[in-house]
Amino acid sequence: MDTKTVKLFAEYNRKTNAEMNRLIEQLAPAQWEQRWGGYYPTIQALCNHLYISDFTWLKRFGNLREFHYIEDDLFKDQLTLASTAFASRREYLDKRGRLDAKAVALAAEVTEDDLAAALTYRNFKGVEQRRNFGGLLLHMFNHGTHHRGMISVYLDSLGIENDYSNLFFLV
């Protein structure tokens, strides 16, 4: 893992979320809330989970050292896995765009030394963890790819054509 790869993944994350969200924005309310039976049974629930996860990781990453991206009112929120991060689809779309911009800003600030460092943080259960910062960045981006794939399946089931998660066009 190097800083160039982090920047690529941050841009991929931003671009892919934006393309996915253009489709989500066009969903009827019933489609946004339609239950599919997965662990996160609706597109709305998946978007909430993805937002909370990325938000939490970006907030935790601010524990490594002083980063400028974290100096945003967005990070004053206190979210848990049980939280509802947004009251409406419009609010989700706005907050998601802001959060993705923060991931890109973090990628611009990350150094090779940061990637090799260990990050100490508390998980959702309050247990202290210590892991490689670069590996955690990779985990965050991979987690997003996994759940965007689940959203893609739900969109396929709705008959909505989607092909938003292709890294090929950025390399």
Q: What is the pLDDT of residues 40-59, one digit of tens each?
A: 999 999 999 999 999 999 99
| CA dist., res. 98 & res. 93, Å (int) | 9
Query: The dihedral of CA 125, 130, 133, 137: what is its sign?
Result: negative
| CA dist., res. 84 & res. 80, Å (int) | 9
CA 132 to each of CA 31, 117, 121: distance values in angstroms, whole numbers, following the listed order: 39, 6, 11
Whole-number pLDDT of residue 139: 97
Contacts with 122 (C-beta within 8 Å, 6 or more apart), sequence order: 128, 129
Whole-number pLDDT of residue 113: 98
**DSSP 8-state symbol, 27:** S
Mean pLDDT value across residues 29-37:
95
pLDDT tens-digit series, residues 93-145: 999 999 999 999 999 999 999 999 999 999 999 999 999 999 999 999 999 99
CA count, 13 A, side-chain hemisphere, 26? 10
Mean pLDDT value across residues 84-93:
96
Query: The dihedral of CA 135, 92, 87, 70: what is its sign?
Result: positive
Whole-number pLDDT of residue 1: 86
Residue 168 has pLDDT above 80, yes or no: no
Phi, psi of 167 (to 5 degrees): -65, -20
* 99 in Cβ contact with 54 (< 8 Å): yes
Share of the chain above pLDDT 90, in %: 93
Helix (H) or strand (E) holding 68: none
Average pLDDT for the chain: 96
Q: What architecture does CATH give domain 3-170? A: Up-down Bundle (1.20)
Domain boundaries in the chain? 3-170
Whole-number pLDDT of residue 68: 97
Whole-number pLDDT of residue 8: 96
Residue 169 has pLDDT above 90, yes or no: no
| CA dist., res. 124 & res. 127, Å (int) | 7
User: pTM for this structure?
Assistant: 0.95
Other Cβ atoms closer than 10 A to 128: 8
